[in-house]
Structure 1
Amino acid sequence: MIKYKTREEIEIMRQSALVVSKTLGMLASEVKPGAVPKKLDKMAEDFIREQGAVPGFLGLYDCPSTLLISTNQTVVHGLPIEKPLEDGDIVSIDCGALMNGYYGDHAYTFEVGEVAPEVKKLLKVTKECLYLGIEQMYAGKRMGDLSHAIQKHAEDHGYGVVRELVGHGIGKKMHEDPQVPNYGKQGRGKKFQEGLVLAIEPMITMGTHRVKQLRDGWTIDTVDGKPAAHFEHDVAIVDGKPEILSTYDYIYEALGITEEV
């Protein structure tokens, strides 16, 4: 059952989302060749607690970490390890925070050092997919409109759209109804209403859309070993239109990025 949020609840959720945004912004300048994912994870945990929140992932479904750090062919749910990041890697950092009883959850895929042009394009298109999906989140439109916008843009560029993993509603629980697929048909699915809050997260691959889970029970890799990108925002319907509760501004400021998408 979908739990629609009041204006007051949405404002509380905005604060939870911004804790995550600030955490990703803090990490942005640390994501470079030689950075150790395990150390990034500890930095994130300490930072979130300093903000008066608690890590949203740590302990959830027995998750052993504050961050999920997914490099190159790992789509999502990579566990932080001791192996340092290398020049040319891409790394999705997915982070959650719980504050005042509500969750924030979003993600950004970072470039590590000098990244190949074709990989840069994958990241650019995946981020565009996210915002194209958000643009469909108006009261009266349907889930299929959002899902189709993401799928079409990715596939128009020859990329794969992961089927097995989806976005989700968010609130007092990290994962609430409804599921938010990144593929679908226009005019189909649940109709959007005022107060809906979603975590929209395109997961786009350079090759096949097929994925596999590794033996650790968490890590999800592409079957063909080609790179994947992942971007995520928390978005609410306020006054009938989408309002992004999270922000990449802290990341952009840290990295000196001036572009919006």
Structure 2
Amino acid sequence: MIVVKTKEEIELMRQSALIVSKTLGMLAKEVKEGVTTMQLDKLAEEFIRDQGALPGFLGLYDCPSTLLCSVNDAVVHGLPTQTPLKDGDIVSIDCGALMNEFYGDHAYTFEIGEVDPETKKLIQVTKESLYIGIREFKLNNRVGDVGFAIQQHCESHGYGVVRELVGHGLGKKMHEDPEMPNYGRRGRGKKFVEGMVVAIEPMINGGTHKVRQLKDGWTIVTQDGKPSVHFEHDVALVDGKPEILSTFAYVHEALGIVSNEEDEFRQKALVL
């Protein structure tokens, strides 16, 4: 059952989402060669608690960490480790926060040092697909419209769209209806209605779409060992149009990236 949110609840969810956004922005300054994902996890937990929120992942489904850090061929759900990041790596950091009884949940893929051109292109295309998908999250469209748009863009570049893992509704539970696959057919699936809030999160592989799970019971990796990229935003349907509740602006500020990619999805300017 889809849980529709009031405008007041959406504003509370924006606060939760922005806690995650600020956490990713803080981490952007720390993600570098020689740092371990376990160190990043400790920094994130402390930061989230200092903001008056709770880590959204820690303890959820028995998750042992605040962050899920997926390095190189890891798609999602990578547990933090003591292995230092090295030059040329990529790491997708997925983070959640619970505040005002609502969850925020989004992710960003970071580059460590000099990343090879093929992987850079995978990152660019996956990020593009996120906004292409968000554009389809509008009144009277359907789940399949978002998935189709993401799938078409990524597969046109020869990339694999993960089937086993999908985006989701978001609210007082981390995972609500509807499921939001990154593949699909136009006009199929549940219809979008005013007040819906979803996490749209393309998980795109540089090769095959097929994945497998490691023995830790969490980490999902590509079957062919090629890299995978993950970006995620929290999006509400407000006045018939998609409005992004989360933001990469804090990450961009930390990394010196100039971007207007979120502007069309904001009804009012974001104040950092």
Give the TM-score range, shorter chain. Answer: over 0.9
Question: How do residues 48-63 of structure 1 correspond to structure 2 at under 5 angstroms?
Answer: 48-63=48-63
Q: Which residue of 2 aligns with 1:121?
A: 121
Q: Which residue of 2 aligns with 1:222?
A: 222
Offset at 1:115? Answer: 0.3
- Asked if residue 82 in structure 1 is aligned to residue 78 in structure 2, the reply is no
State the percentage of identical aligned residues. 72
Q: Which residue of 1 aligns with 2:131?
A: 131
Q: Which residue of 2 aligns with 1:257?
A: 257
Question: How do residues 1-261 of structure 1 correspond to structure 2 at under 5 angstroms?
Answer: 1-261=1-261
One-letter amino acid of the counterpart of residue 165, structure 2 = L
Task: Give the distance between the partners of 1:167 and 1:241, measured in 2 at CA.
Answer: 18
CA offsets per residue over residues 47-102 of structure 1, 9 Å max, x none?
A: 00000000000000000000000000000000000000000000000000000100
Task: Give the distance between the partners of 1:67 and 1:130, measured in 2 at CA.
Answer: 21
Over 2 Å off, 4+ runs: none
Give ranges in structure 1 of 5+ residues lacking alignment.
Answer: none
TM normalised by structure 2 equals 0.95
One-letter amino acid of the counterpart of residue 61, structure 1 = Y
TM normalised by structure 1 equals 0.99
Task: Give the distance between the partners of 2:12 and 2:131, measured in 1 at CA.
Answer: 23
One-letter amino acid of the counterpart of residue 35, structure 1 = V
CA offsets per residue over residues 194-236 of structure 1, 9 Å max, x none?
A: 0010000000000000000111100000000000000000000
Task: Give the distance between the partners of 1:88 and 1:160, measured in 2 at CA.
Answer: 21
Offset at 1:141? Answer: 0.7
Task: Give the distance between the partners of 1:142 and 1:178, measured in 2 at CA.
Answer: 10
Name the SS of the counterpart of 1:236 in structure 2: strand
Offset at 1:29? Answer: 1.2
CA RMSD of aligned residues (A): 0.5
One-letter amino acid of the counterpart of residue 34, structure 1 = G
Task: Give the distance between the partners of 1:163 and 1:140, measured in 2 at CA.
Answer: 24
CA offsets per residue over residues 133-186 of structure 1, 9 Å max, x none?
A: 000011111111110000000000000000000000000000001100000001
Name the SS of the counterpart of 1:243 in structure 2: strand
Task: Give the distance between the partners of 2:180 and 2:25, measured in 1 at CA.
Answer: 26
Offset at 1:260? Answer: 3.5
Offset at 1:36? Answer: 1.0
Name the SS of the counterpart of 1:98 in structure 2: strand
Name the SS of the counterpart of 2:182 in structure 1: coil
Task: Give the distance between the partners of 1:171 and 1:161, measured in 2 at CA.
Answer: 26
CA offsets per residue over residues 11-58 of structure 1, 9 Å max, x none?
A: 000000000000000000111111111110000000000000000000
One-letter amino acid of the counterpart of residue 96, structure 1 = G
Task: Give the distance between the partners of 1:205 and 1:36, measured in 2 at CA.
Answer: 23
Offset at 1:188? Answer: 0.8
Task: Give the distance between the partners of 2:187 and 2:238, measured in 1 at CA.
Answer: 21
Give ranges in structure 2 of 5+ residues lacking alignment.
Answer: 262-272
CA offsets per residue over residues 95-134 of structure 1, 9 Å max, x none?
A: 0000010000000000011000110000000000100000
Q: Size of the alignment, in residue pairs? A: 261
Name the SS of the counterpart of 1:191 in structure 2: coil
CA offsets per residue over residues 220-261 of structure 1, 9 Å max, x none?
A: 000000000000000000000000000000000000000235
Name the SS of the counterpart of 1:174 in structure 2: coil
Task: Give the distance between the partners of 2:83 and 2:191, measured in 1 at CA.
Answer: 45
Name the SS of the counterpart of 2:131 in structure 1: helix
